[in-house]
Amino acid sequence: MGNDLGFILMDDTANTAQVIIRPPLAWGLAAIAGIALNWLVPLPFLPVDLPAGWLGAIVFVFALALAAWAIVIITTAGSNVPTNLPTTTIAETGPYRFTRNPIYLGMLLGLIGLAIAFDNLWLLMMLVPFALLIRYGVVAREEAYLERKFGDVYRGYRSRVRRWL
């Protein structure tokens, strides 16, 4: 919905969540910032004798598997994954039985895995702005959108399944 000044106003009837940033872009920016900061000022945080590469790789692969599983479930249910497309159904199976946001949880775990693998405290610190951006700029808008669109169906799902874990 526009106005005479050319601004785009948030429309309560819009058929998307109108998030402030696409989550993969936010994740990529957090990862790049953490890697760049570590290049400028290295901040290792793990014991030297810890097999950080392997441990971090395991966490990262688990995170990737969680996100991939969630994407398969939501697309199989017939809905869209990208936040700029309408949600057509509420997925309640697979990882959506345990968390309403398994893809974002996978993204958070992915950053943790990278931080461990590269022994990079900056990447771990990037969790804070990334998590806040996702929580308030994406999830809050998605929740309001889903409640407007699906009403009691979404409210029932929300009452049964936690936002994160």
- Residue 8's DSSP bridge partners are 2
For tokens 């996702």, the residue is 134
Q: Find, among 104, 105, 109, the residue nearest to 123 by Cα.
A: 109
Q: Find, among 34, 25, 24, the residue nearest to 113 by Cα.
A: 34
| Residue 114 host element (H or E) | helix 102-117
pLDDT for position 14? 73
For tokens 């790049």, the residue is 32
**DSSP E strands: which ranges in the chain?**
none
pLDDT for position 43? 98
Cα 12 to Cα 9, 146, 162: the distances in Å are 9, 11, 25
Q: Sort 51 into a burial class: Cβ within 10 Å, 0-12 / 13-18 / 19+.
A: exposed
C-alpha 64/C-alpha 107 separation (Å) is 8
152 in helix, strand or coil? helix
Cα 148 to Cα 15, 99, 154: the distances in Å are 10, 20, 9
Question: Over the chain (165 residues), what is each successive 10-residue block's mean pLDDT?
Answer: 42 78 98 98 96 97 98 96 95 97 98 98 98 98 96 97 96
Burial of 127-140, coded b for 16+ CB within 10 Å and e otherwise, reads: beebbebbeeebbe
pLDDT for position 2? 45
| Every domain of the chain and the residues it spans | 49-81+88-160
